[in-house]
Amino acid sequence: MVVVTDGTADHKNYRMFKIKTVAGISDVDMLKEIIRRRLTHREWQFPDLIVIDGGKPQLNAVMTVIRARAPELTRRVVALAKREEELYSPSIAHTIRLDSLPPETGFFFQRIRDESHRFAKKYHHKLREMSYRPR
């Protein structure tokens, strides 16, 4: 989880979630677990906007958790599909292409997505390195 405050990466609030309940590889189920666990931390401020890495399936999965646990956040969620460079929102029937937004807005969403990928990849590499260490 990456956090952006006032347009700047807020590294001290980044969090790593080790997947506990999902067997195998299912990004949809992993996202549901992460959102569920994130929302249990009431001491963490609720975000103004939640940007999900993925498309419609990821958004729909996350929305089931948000509607059940924090319905006040339902209008604060979007998903960004990388291949199509489109934003999905549960409150808007159509998708929004990033190239239809002002350049600084589209770039902002891309930066968030790219930073989340960088952070997740770094964590994944750390976990793999730890699993290869001799005991």
- In this prediction, residue 135 has a pLDDT band, given cuts at 50, 70 and 90, of low
- Is the confidence at residue 100, as pLDDT, over 90? yes
Name the token pair of 36.
């569920």
Q: How far apart are CA 45 and CA 23, in angstroms?
A: 30
Cβ atoms of 85 and 99 within 8 Å: the answer is yes
Q: Where are the domains of the chain?
A: 4-132
pLDDT digits (tens, 9 = 90+) for 34-83: 999 999 998 998 999 999 999 999 999 999 999 999 999 999 999 999 88
User: What is the arithmetic mean of pLDDT over 116-125?
Assistant: 86
Cβ atoms of 27 and 81 within 8 Å: the answer is no
> Which architecture characterizes domain 4-132 according to CATH?
2-Layer Sandwich (3.30)
